[in-house]
Amino acid sequence: MNQARAHSHEMRLLTGGVDLFAAMVVAMDAAQHEVLLETYIFAFAGAGTDVAHALMRAAQRGVRVCVVVDGIGTGELPAMWADQFAQVGVQVRVYAPAVGLGFWLPSRWRRLHRKLCVVDTTVAFCGGINILDDYLDPHVQGLLKAPRLDYAVSVRGPLVLAARATMAQLWSRIEAVRELRSQDLGSALDALRGAKQRLHLPVRGETQLVLRDNVRHRAHIERTYRKAIGAARHDIVVASAYFFPGLRLRRALLMAARRGVRVRLLLQGQYEYYLPYRAARQLYGQLMAAGVEIYEYHASYLHAKVAVIDGKWLTVGSSNLDPFSLLLAREANVVAHDAQMAQALQASLVSAIEQGAARVDPHVYLSRGWRERAVDALASAVLRFGVFLTGKRY
């Protein structure tokens, strides 16, 4: 855990749920007015229950507690926990609930993927970590052999108000939909008025909250990445659990490598989903030919979505560099110019590369058999076809 002050902001780097959940529980136990939480996955097992109990304790003290989970990532809460939350006053809403075969419609692929928490407009948490124990995974029976690699930050300062504003706006929109479905038009109009309030996010400064949604912030995270990569002079380290960048972002990485910037990518070695893993490998040849170093993380599951550039710029958030994150999902990243924090994150990533990953050998990659090549090409084609179905350009 590392702490730094970037002008009017105080930030701490949190590694894994072990750091994040402990910090969130401390903040929630000190809450006096409000706790807002958004997450893609809320798993009520292991360390995830520590957060659940902290939410309940806050609600029992009279604190307003609002939780939003994704309809695919979490779905409906387990009955026991839903009842306990209801009894103490924890309000829970499900974003875009999955109904029947509706998930297979491209319009239903727009998920709530961001992981945000704000306590009393005093501290905000943002990163890639779900409310999911570091040693538990929905795709694996039993415990993982090593903790999942992921990061978050806690922030104090003006950014907290921006995080609260975007969370409050989403809550109002969800409430408006609920009221319309219950045919309570007056309450729905009140909720819509709250949802229509324009977000005033800081566009300049050392520390920013950068969003992606399907309204006003469609490409903000990708543009932020491209701008930072385009300005890189010495070193780029990117860790992305799911990696299938579009042409413009891929070109930015290629151009950086060709002008002499050292570019290192830390990607999944142990994969959760076969298709995106193989699609990413289809891009390796072009990247390595330009000098990009690619490392696959094998120590455990890689779930990080972070980057460090020139040891002074960093981003930590929920957005992968793939079509799901960059074109469809609601995402949130913290971006900062902070040498101390950037170097701490880079040291952690370099350690993960050296101790838990293997570099992809260009010669071995180029000599792989035709079957592997065909699988990679097919996975890439399927992913691109999925993008085509959404009507997006990528």
- Options 50, 190, 235, 310, the catalytic residue: 310
Structure confidence at residue 3 (pLDDT): 72
Supply the DSSP string of 27-72, one letter for each residue.
HHHH-SSEEEEEES-B--STTHHHHHHHHHHHHHTT-EEEEEEETT
- Catalytic, 113? Answer yes
317 with 204: CB under 8 angstroms? no
What is 2-195's CATH number?
Answer: 3.30.870.10
Q: Which ranges in the chain are annotated with CATH 3.30.870.10?
A: 2-195, 207-390
Structure confidence at residue 107 (pLDDT): 64
Tens digits of per-residue pLDDT, 281-316? 999 999 999 999 999 999 999 999 999 999 999 999
- Catalytic, 305? Answer yes
Q: What is the bridge-based pairing of β-strands 207-212 and 331-337? A: antiparallel
Residue 251 has pLDDT above 90, yes or no: yes
How confident is the model over 213-227, as a mean pLDDT? 93
Residue 189 has pLDDT above 60, yes or no: no
Residue 373 has pLDDT above 80, yes or no: yes
From CA 318, how far away is CA 332, in angstroms rounded? Answer: 6
Structure confidence at residue 266 (pLDDT): 98
- Catalytic, 303? Answer yes
Backbone φ, ψ for residue 318 (5° rounding): -100, -10
- Catalytic, 150? Answer no
Tens digits of per-residue pLDDT, 322-367? 999 999 999 999 999 999 999 999 999 999 999 999 999 999 999 9
Helix, strand or coil, per DSSP, at residue 300: strand
From CA 111, how far away is CA 245, in angstroms rounded? Answer: 19
- Options 9, 217, 220, 303, the catalytic residue: 303
- Options 120, 134, 150, 338, the catalytic residue: 120
- Options 113, 217, 220, 337, the catalytic residue: 113
Tens digits of per-residue pLDDT, 49-72? 999 999 999 999 999 999 999 999
Instruction: Identify residue 70 by its one-letter amino acid code.
Output: D
- Catalytic, 120? Answer yes
- Catalytic, 137? Answer no
Residue 249 has pLDDT above 80, yes or no: yes
How confident is the model over 230-259, as a mean pLDDT? 97
Structure confidence at residue 192 (pLDDT): 54
Q: Which two tokens stand for residue 148?
A: 């999942």
Structure confidence at residue 180 (pLDDT): 74
- Options 9, 115, 220, 337, the catalytic residue: 115
Structure confidence at residue 197 (pLDDT): 57
- Options 217, 220, 305, 337, the catalytic residue: 305
How confident is the model over 246-262, as a mean pLDDT? 97
Give the chain's mean pLDDT.
91
Whole-structure pTM over 0.95, yes or no? no
Query: Which residues partner with 240 through β-bridges?
Result: 305
Going by C-beta distance under 8 Å and a sequence separation of 6 or more, which residues neighbour residue 118? 34, 35, 36, 124, 125, 160, 163, 164, 167
Question: Which of 175, 193, 154 shows the shortest CA–CA distance to 9?
Answer: 154
331 with 319: CB under 8 angstroms? yes
Structure confidence at residue 193 (pLDDT): 59
Residue 187 has pLDDT above 70, yes or no: no
Structure confidence at residue 135 (pLDDT): 97
Query: According to the CATH classification, is domain 207-390 in 3.30.420.40?
Result: no
What order do you get walking across the sheet with 207-212 strand by strand? Answer: 207-212, 331-337, 313-317, 305-309, 235-240, 262-270, 293-301, 357-359
Share of the chain above pLDDT 70, in %: 90
From CA 103, how far away is CA 85, in angstroms rounded? Answer: 27
From CA 351, how far away is CA 77, in angstroms rounded? Answer: 37
